[in-house]
Every structure is written in structure tokens, then in C-alpha cells.
Structure 1
């Protein structure tokens, strides 16, 4: 090979290599903002298809007055054959006034056996301004007190209209209810009057039926069963003859009813029930099934045989009129 040709190849090799290096530029959009506004730091790289570049990660230090708002992905601006032009945007915000030098951006570049860092353009300068107040043309005043506006009926007119309509509906409903009650011989006050207490014999019969449905003695709970029977009897006797049966013993109850007009069978049944209940509660006796059922029937018929006679219909009607 001729020396002249060899020298030309050696001189062109570095030039060709220099042309293969990616070209980079950077800029701020815009480069002058107000405090608190946003701006974009843009880095563009033009490279070969096989070359690899890595854009920097912008992480402003704490207390620097800058904040990363968004990091859009890398955008391909142009592609011409093997040449690519890429752009990376960093959306930032500034919160301190002044003139800042953001330095030169750096892009990591790799190609075959080459790993290098490319310095992007010149240093980036950012101007951050704030509001200027001309105290000669603008005066600063203290905060004004709360202003009290005059009352206007139009502000509550809708509420008043709806309230009157509701009252009219309530009055109409009350009038219709009163007419309905009057047609049935009742008064409006009867709706709020508490229900009269049940007669003692009715309350006792209902309590006996409820006790029977619990099936206590069938589940070997004889003491609870007989305690329920005697409590129902004591309550009935106390209300029927107005004696303190709840605090009396069985013998005292029988003695208290000695001068009372009772059928002989009812008197015998009462004594038998109270005696059997004492044996179960205090002597832990266990009656047979037939005896348990028989004592229940004795209680039931004792109440039925000793309940007051039904009042005369005329007397009952007169009592209802007096209650009104």
C-alpha cells in the first residue's frame, strides 16, 4: 500500500468515528417563569439505530425549591433510515425566586465496546420571578369585618310555604280521623289512652297456656315447672281476693281463703297443688307424668271455677261510658 493512501486512511478514521457519536441538545421551555409555575427541561438526542442512550434521572435535592411534576415517556421525533431523533421531557415546578443554573445535562452512551457520558450543550439558566407590588400606587389595608346583610323574607319564603302546607295536611288528617272515630262512637283521646289491664282470670289462663307450651317437666325441669304453676296461682289469688299471696306460705294462703266462698273441689285442688309444689321445690320430689299433667289441669279449672261472674251487659255499657 502506498504511504500516501495509508496516511489518508489514518486521518479519516477519527473523523468517521466522531461523526458516529450521537448529537445532543438541551433547552428549557420556557426559561423564565413566575414562582410556582411549571416548565419543561427537554433533552434531544440524534443517534444511529444500533446505538444505546440512557437519559438522566432528574431528582432535585430537598430544599432546592424544585419539584418533579411529571415524567413523560421518551418520544421519537424523527426517523430517517438508520438515524433516530429522540426527545425526553422533564416537567418541573419552581417555588423559590431567583436565577438558577441547572448545569449541563448528561446522557449515557453505549456503542459496541464504548461506554461514555455525553455532556449536553451549555449550562441551562432559569429565571424565576415573583409578584411585584408597587407600594406607591397601591395601598395595603387591614381585613374588613364581616358584613351583616339585612333580613329578607324571600330567603325563607319556600320554607314557610312548605311548613304551612304540612300543617294543612296534618289538620285535614286529624279532622278525617276524628270523623271516623265519631262514626264509631269513639273519641280522639281514646287512641292515646292505655289499654285496660286484663282481668285476673284472663291473665292467669294465658300464663298457664304459655307455661304448658314450654314443656318443662317433659325435659326434667320439674322445679321450674311447679314454681311457674304456683307463681301463676299466687298472682291470680292476690288480684282476685286482694290478699298478699305472693309473700305467704302455702299454709297461709289456704288459711286466708278459708272464709272465702269457694267450691269444695277448688279448695281441695288448691291445697293439693301447693303441697305437691312444696315437695318438688324443697324435697326434690319427682312426680309422675300423669301427676304433672293433673296438677296443670287443677290450676286451670281452679281459675275457671273461681273467676268472677260475667257482668250484666247494661252494667258493662254504663261502665264503658263512665270510662270515656
Structure 2
């Protein structure tokens, strides 16, 4: 009987496992990191994860920016894994001890493992203040014709080819010849035409 109890003990303890970890153990002031909480329990168990409101303090100095919805995944052996992510940030330089979060499994309190989060400040060189410059305004890039001229002439060529193809398509559609014969009519000025007619009349009188 005692042997059977000892064999069942690891299974029961493994059915309720709480693990928490941080994406990064070191951040700069104002940066964010995620705290991942995962609970493994038997299928059908009632699991209650800790919940925080936005901007609520996890501990003094560490703020919970937001938390995700609980996600449930089914594992082998009739077990479930419930997980939730917490986005953390801090604005004070210090090494914080992130406590083990309390989880309720069938009314029983379980907890994960405590962690450490180191918050660093941005190093500022106060010895050389002349190296600090104000932010620069938005500057327009200069327009260079040499960079845009190939694209411009290529666009003109494409438009001309498109126009020729459209004209050929319309001529073929209307069953008209592609080669157009042009008739050149020579226009005679009025005074030359009048002199020519007078000469013709004179010639006719002479012959008669």
C-alpha cells in the first residue's frame, strides 16, 4: 500500500505545475518585458490565474502594463496547460525580485518560481556636454535631374509605343490600310492663275 502511494505521488504533483519566466532579465528604464505564466493541471480542474489591471503595480517599482487573455492547450495524458502573459515595465533603476505568482487549482494555492529583473538607466556623458545636439528638422532631398531623366525618357517612349499600338489596332479593326497614301495638291496663286487664263484667251484670238 505504501509503495503504491509513493508511485502515485509524483504523478499527482506533476499534474499541478506552475512555471513563470521573463523574456528578458535586464531592461532599460521605460522598456517592457513579458512575464509568461504557465500552469499544467489535470483535465477538468478549475484553474484561476492572477489578474492585474492596467498600470497596477506587481510590486513597488514594477508596473503591469497589460495582461493577455488566458490561453488553454490540451496536452497528452489528459492534462491541460493554461497560460497568460503579463507585460511589465519599470521607471526606477534597481534589481527587483519578481515574486512567484499565486495560482488557484481546485481551490488549492500553487505558485511558480521567483525571478530577478534588473532595470538599468541610460548612460549619460556629463563630462562632454558639447557632444549633445538638438533634434534635426525633416530635410527634403535635393532633386537631381540626372537621377530622374532615364525614368522620364523611358516613360515618354512607353507612351509613344502605346499610342502607335493603339492606332494600329484601330486601323486593323476598321479594316483600313496601315500605310496611308498622301496626295499632294499644288496650289497656284490667284494672280498666276489669272495670267494663265489671259494667255489662253490671247492664244485663242491669235489662232482665230
Offset at residue 61 of structure 1 (A): 4.2
Q: 1:23 aligns with which of 13, 17, 25?
A: 17
Deviations along 1:176-219, whole A, 9 cap, x unmatched? Answer: xxxxxxxxxxxxxxxxxxxxxxxxxxxxxxxxxxxxxxxxxxxx
Paired with 2:26 and 2:73, the residues of 1 have a C-alpha distance of 25
Flag the 1:89–1:143 CA change in 2: closer, same or farther, 3 A: closer
Secondary structure of the corresponding residue to residue 11 of structure 1: helix
Aligned to 2:81: 85
Secondary structure (helix, strand or coil) at the match of 2:38 reads strand
Unaligned stretches of 5+ in structure 2?
A: 135-208
Cα distance 1:130–1:77, how it changes in 2: closer, same or farther (>3 A)?
farther
The separation in 1 between residues aligned to 2:115 and 2:58, in whole angstroms, is 20
The counterpart of 2:97, out of the listed 67, 85, 101, is: 101
Aligned match of 1:139:
129
- Aligned counterparts of 1:105 and 1:41: Cα–Cα separation in 2: 10
1:52 and 2:43 equivalent? no
Pairwise CA RMSD of aligned residues?
2.8
Contact 2:41-2:105 within 8 A present in 1 as well: no
Aligned counterpart, 1:255: none
Q: 1:63 to 1:106 in 2, by over 3 A?
A: closer
CA distance in 2, matches of 1:62, 1:19: 32
Counterpart in 1 of 2:154? none
Residues 142, 135 of structure 1: alpha-carbon distance in 2 compared, 3 angstrom cutoff: closer
Give the equivalent residue in structure 1 for 2:195: none
**Which runs of 5 or more residues in structure 1 are unaligned?**
1-8, 145-324
Picking from 50, 62, 65, the partner of 2:61 is 65
State the Cα deviation string for residues 237-291 of structure 1 (Å, max 9, x = none): xxxxxxxxxxxxxxxxxxxxxxxxxxxxxxxxxxxxxxxxxxxxxxxxxxxxxxx
- The verdict on how the C-alpha distance between 1:33 and 1:77 changes in structure 2, with shifts beyond 3 A counting, is farther
Report deviation, 1:62: 9.5
Higher strand proportion (structure 1 or 2):
2
> 3-state SS of the aligned residue for 2:117?
strand
Of residues 14, 29, 33, the one that matches 1:35 is 29
The structure where helix makes up a greater share of residues is 1
Query: What is the 5 A alignment of 1:107-256?
Result: 107-110=103-106, 115-121=107-113, 123-136=114-127, 138-140=128-130
